[in-house]
Amino acid sequence: MEKACKGWETLNADNFRDLNPGDRVLMGPGPSDVPARTLQAIAAPCIGHLDPYFLAIMNETQILLRALFQTDNELTIPVSGTGSAGMETCFVNLVEPGDEVAVCVNGVFGTRMADIVKRIGGKLIRIDAEWGTAVDPEAVRQAIKGKAPKVIAVVHAETSTGVCQPLDDLARISHDAGALFLVDAVTSLGGMPVPIDELKIDAVYSGTQKCISGPPGLSPVTFGPAAVKAMERRETPVVSWYLDLSMVRDYWGSERKYHHTAPINMIYGLREALRLIAEEGLSNRHARHRLNHRALVAGIEAMGLAMLVPEAIRLPMLNAVRIPQGVDDLTVRKALLKDYGIEIGGGLGQFAGKVWRIGLMGQSCRPKNVFLLLAALETVLSAQGYRSQPGALAAAAAVYDEAC
């Protein structure tokens, strides 16, 4: 007779409740709210990863992803893993031991890029900028002078600070240096333009849980012709078998060679999330993110609070707000979650305890959430003794009225 593991005989299934996390309004740095249609798609029957029906779903998902990335790149797929898996996918496929790699660092996720380069044996050229600011293209130009970087990498939307990094100059610098230009678009894709082909960006990765408004678990990536060529000319094997795109692309391509079992239902959900974006229209979606961001900032500033990032380089989907003196970060966030069901994020790294990170991403990016957050924040701050200036809701409403 099979022997039960220790403790199994005393296990009472009744002690484990049905799943019911309650209502949440996800306005942190991710994930964002997931539309009912996307959740419904995820609940469709699971079938085999080589089933003809699923293969057709894969094709449709790739078509929709290319439209979102604004690219014709053939190698455009969702990697099985979260955005960090997409980051690692790009680096392990493009960088070999000894390759010079320039990484722009102005927040947590640039730091993570630099860490990966060192772990896989690349020669790191680290270009630091003050957190809360954009990287100066001239600093990049000077840092690579006399060197031959294979890759220049940057975070488009630095989630830890709310900074939007302009890409045009860095793309030109990369191409002039004969380097591949690699961009982290985890937070930006779906909420603002990421014009891959227009800027000739060679490799990009993103995540499904932010402006795409799917659950975490997939990382869309796209490789342009130069990146594919670099991958094919490697002299050493990709250090990660699971993330080796030279094999994974054969499953997503016409050959349909088995590599790993795809997360079937997650891809159902991604396809539906992309359908919703297509129905809204990409330019309309970008405009919606800009408008709700403007309304939120107007309300925040009307309360007497200050934004961390200068307006010219401020992200529309991730808003970093300075915490006023005498106000406790965690107390406010706990009260928003407990009393109003609103999740916002705290600061990371050097901004821990100093800023709140308020997300307006995908399904969460709606006027009613802007008004709800402003009203709730006023109340919670008042309970902590912070006297905000009146007129936050009126300031946000004025932005919407002006846009009509």
Residue 6: the pLDDT is 67
- DSSP H helices, 187-224, are 196-199
- What is the rounded CA–CA span in Å between residue 33 and residue 114? 31
- DSSP H helices, 281-344, are 282-302, 329-340
Quote the strand ranges of 82-216, DSSP E. 100-105, 123-128, 151-155, 157-158, 163-164, 180-184, 203-205
Angle (deg, nearest 10), helices 264-280 and 282-302? 80
Domains, in order of start, for the chain: 36-279 (3.40.640.10), 281-403 (3.90.1150.10)
- What is the rounded CA–CA span in Å between residue 134 and residue 268? 36
Angle (deg, nearest 10), helices 245-252 and 225-232? 120
The amino acid at residue 374 is L
The residues that bridge with 40 in the sheet, in sequence order, are none
* Preceding omega of 31 cis (within 30 degrees of 0): yes
- What is the rounded CA–CA span in Å between residue 253 and residue 356? 43
Residue 15: the pLDDT is 85
Residue 1: the pLDDT is 46
Residue 277: the pLDDT is 98
Strand order in the sheet with 318-322: 318-322, 355-359, 345-346
Residue 81: the pLDDT is 97
Please answer whether residues 243 and 5 qualify as being in contact, where contact means their C-beta atoms are separated by less than 8 angstroms.
no
Residue 287 CB coordination number (10 Å) = 14
Print pLDDT tens along the chain (404 aa): 455 566 777 788 888 888 998 889 999 999 999 999 999 999 999 999 999 999 999 999 999 999 999 999 999 999 999 999 999 999 999 999 999 999 999 999 999 999 999 999 999 999 999 999 999 999 999 999 999 999 999 999 999 999 999 999 999 999 999 999 999 999 999 999 999 999 999 999 999 999 999 999 999 999 999 999 999 999 999 999 999 999 999 999 988 999 999 999 999 999 999 999 999 999 999 999 999 999 999 999 999 999 999 999 999 999 999 999 999 999 999 999 999 999 999 999 999 999 999 999 999 999 999 999 999 999 999 999 998 888 999 999 999 999 98
Residue 330 CB coordination number (10 Å) = 9
Q: For residue 106, what are the CA distances in angstroms to 127, 130, 163, 403?
A: 9, 6, 9, 33
